[in-house]
Structure formats: structure tokens, C-alpha cells
Chain A
Amino acid sequence: MISSICKCGKIVALERKVCPYCGKTMNSVEHGNVAEILTYTKLFTVPEGFKSPIFLTLVKLENGAKLLCECKNENDLEIDRKGKVIFEKEKYYFVSTKK
């Protein structure tokens, strides 16, 4: 997993050159993929080119940054559910570690 970190103390998920909080240059950092669900939705009316439904979740990564991604399994959609983020076919997915 890659996040971007700024001297101002802010960390955002994925690669980003300019800090959205203060405008300074950010540096990339690699870190683990542990994550936890902050919120979620099952999206039925999807944009053209997508297959319905999409299980969307906003997760908190282990470094505190947030990431919007798909959830692999509908049954994992629960606030505070712990798991990890995996990268597959150009997309990030949340997978629960709890069975």
C-alpha cells in the first residue's frame, strides 16, 4: 500500500504530489494493508460501464489515511469491521480478516 506524507503531518492514501491541506510537496511511503470500515453502501444505480450492485466502503488504513474502495464480500459490510486492502485488476478491494 502506498500513501503520501507531508511535513505538515498529514497523510493521504495513494500517490499525490501536492499536499491538499497545505500545498507543500508530499513524499510517498509504503506501509501495511491493515484497514477498518468507517462506512459503506450498496450502490444499485451505477454509472454506465459498471455492473450493479457495487459494494462501496470508505476504510481507515493503518496510518490513519482514508481510502474509498470496493468490498469483496457483501457480508463484510459492517462499520468497524477489520480487514485488509488488496490490489487486484487495477482496483483496491477491502477483504475482512474475520470469519
Chain B
Amino acid sequence: MAGVYISGIGITKFGKRKESLQTLMYESYAQATESQESNFDAVFVGCMNPDEFVGDSNFATLIVDHLGLYQTPSVRIDNAPASGSAAFEQAYFSIASGHYQKVLVLAGEKMSNLSTGETTRILSKLIDKYERSTGATMPALAALVTRRYMHDYGLSREELAQAAVKNHYNGTLNPYAQFQKEITIDDVLKSKMISDPLRLYDCASISDGACAAILTSKKTDVKVSGIGHATDFLSLQYRDSLTSFNATKIAAKRAYDMAKKSPKDIDVAEVHDAFTILEIVNPEDLGFFKPGEGAAALIDGKTGLSGDLPINTSGGLKARGHPVGATGLAQICEIVWQLRGEAGKRQVPANIGLCHNIGGFVNNNIVTILESC
């Protein structure tokens, strides 16, 4: 199997953007291809729902046309909010198989055109139809998990808020983050109640943004050493555990096995903190901490910028913003910067990094391991 390496990467500032989705993708593409030849064997486009969010379908063709990549094969990958990492995964396979030598991955979403009500309705379609019929939303499912976790492990409301506080601090050091402002525990606890016990500041924001990455069979300074992917039941009703997610555990094991690494080899990680509870549960499921110890690791600063295992140095979904289709590739961009020593004020010492991207309500997850070389 051919080795797969990352050369250029690019990202737009996340947040409410007035440009079109294709213009945002062009902006990230221009950054990724700076001083490089821009011809590719194929283009993989990660985007969850351009049909409903921006009113365009056939988006893979639209984007090669917009970028002037006439005749290049192009395909759009929709894997719910794990579309960015799924596009990266398929791009990886295309080179690992030996079929292509150099491909472009683009990922993005533009969500701010619609009202919050319409966006909530679109995002609720990620949920099982029966469960949706009860009125359940993504924050409601996360709240059910949070309530049970608090009951089983004694997690306090204040400890949970610390996840948002930490990620907002990291966001102040990331010029591409949607929110570059520190918040306090009090700010979280006074924010609007969404689904008890989760408040507005426990939830990732609606955002616009795009990212790009170039994958190549030619050796660069960053290698893709492992990719693991797993699904779980669509319905929460079928899951064995309410405080741990099998799709993360299995995807992580597959990625670690492929990369011949273990959780203790990871120097830095981006985990999918769409809700604060996930900043606590994901690191446990990834094998970094024992079940029930994720909150202590956060409170003790182990996952902070000067901790043993910095998590979400970018600010995570919480502060960087969560344009659903872009998130997986944004995580990869952050880890590449960390491995290259290009992460500016949020730089941590790192040779091996991990990205964890969730599709649906934690039921289609992709774990990617990158390594300096």
C-alpha cells in the first residue's frame, strides 16, 4: 500500500460569512495551493447538505467548475457532520490504492443563510425518525447523555462548563476561530437553557467555513498513519451504554491498530465537542482516560495547552465554530499545524496527533492519526 502524505492545507475564518460556499472553498483552496502546481488527479468534497443550506445540488461539479479544475474527477461525500473526515478518508484510499498520486480534499458548509429554527429542523433529520417524532433534537439527546453521566459519575454542572471555558480560551489564540473571546463558568451557567442541563454555551454554534488539504504519494513532513471508521445504531434506544460511545471506541481501535500506536503515543488531539459533555466522554472513549475520569483530566489541566495531552488547541467545535461539513477537515488542519510547529501562540510539543470527528448523534465516527516524518 502506498504511503499517503499531506502537503498544503488551507482554512477560512469560521463564523457568519457573507460569501457563498464555493467562494469560501476557493479561499481555503488558494491557501492550500500557494506556490504549488494546482492540478489534481481528483477532488473529494465533504459537505453535508448544500441542497438545503444553500440551495445547490451537484455540488462536486459546481466546485471544480468554480475552481477552474476542468475535467478533474470530483465527488461529494455526505457523512453527516463527519463529512470532512469522510472526504479525507476516501481521498486517502484513492492514493493508498495506487490509483491516484495527488488529490485535493475540500470541506465546508454554509449554514447562516437560514434561521435557527430551520437549521435546527435540518439538523434534527440526523436523528432516527421515531425518536425525532417525540420532538427530540441533537441537544436533547446530548442532554439525556449528560444527565445520566452526572448521575453515574458525579459530574457537576460547573465542571461541565469548564469544557467550554477551556475551548474558548484556546479559541482566543486561533485567528480562524469564530469566537476569540474568553468566557467564564458564570457566563456558561447564565446562558439560555436549551435542553436541561445543557445551556447555549454548552453547544457548538451555527457557522460558515471551509477547509482544504492536498494529499500526495510523495513524502512530505506529515504522514497519514491511521484511519479508523465505525458506525453505531441510529437510535439511542438501541445503545448499550448512555455514557460511552461504541462508534468512537471501535473507530479509535481501528486507527490505533493501523498506525501501530496506542493512546499514550498521542501528543495532541482534536475531539468532536459539539456539546460540552463530549469533551469529557470522547477522551475516555479514545482511551486517554478511564471511564468517569474525563472531567478530572479537564479540571486538572491535563487537556489544557500546557497539559500532558492538549485537546482542542484550535478551540474545538465550541470556539472555532461548527460548519458541519467542514469540521473534520478543520481538525486535520489544526493537527498539521501543530505537527509542523506552525500553530502560533497555541503551539504545543507534538509529533503524533489524533482527530476524532462525529457524524450524527455519535453514530458514524472517524478517527485519523497523523505523524511527523
Contacts and interface: CB of A to CB of B under 8 A. Distances in A.
Interface of A: 12-14, 20-21, 38-48, 50, 54, 56, 58, 65-70, 79, 91-92
In this complex, the member of B120, B121, B144, B236 whose beta carbon has the largest number of chain A beta carbons within 10 angstroms is B144
Contacts, number: 95
B151 A41 contact: no
Interface stretch (B97-105, B191-199, B348-356): B191-199
A39 B134 CA distance: 15
Contact of B195 (A13, A38, A41): A41
B147 to A, nearest CB: 5
29 contacts: A12-B238, A20-B235, A38-B148, A39-B242, A41-B196, A41-B197, A42-B196, A43-B194, A44-B192, A44-B194, A45-B139, A46-B137, A47-B120, A47-B135, A48-B117, A48-B120, A54-B134, A54-B140, A56-B144, A58-B236, A58-B242, A65-B237, A66-B238, A68-B131, A68-B236, A69-B134, A70-B134, A70-B135, A79-B151
A66 B136 CA distance: 15
B140 A43 contact: yes
Interface residues of B, number: 34
Contacts of B144: 39-41, 56, 58
A61 B86 CA distance: 37
A47 B134 contact: no
B124 A47 contact: yes
Contacts of A68: 130-131, 134, 136, 236-237
A66 B196 CA distance: 21
Interface in B111-139: 117-118, 120-121, 124, 130-137, 139
Contacts of A56: 134-136, 140, 144
Nearest to A40: B147
Contacts of B366: none
A24 B238 CA distance: 16
A43 B242 contact: no
B137 A45 contact: yes
Contacts of A41: 140, 143-144, 147, 195-198
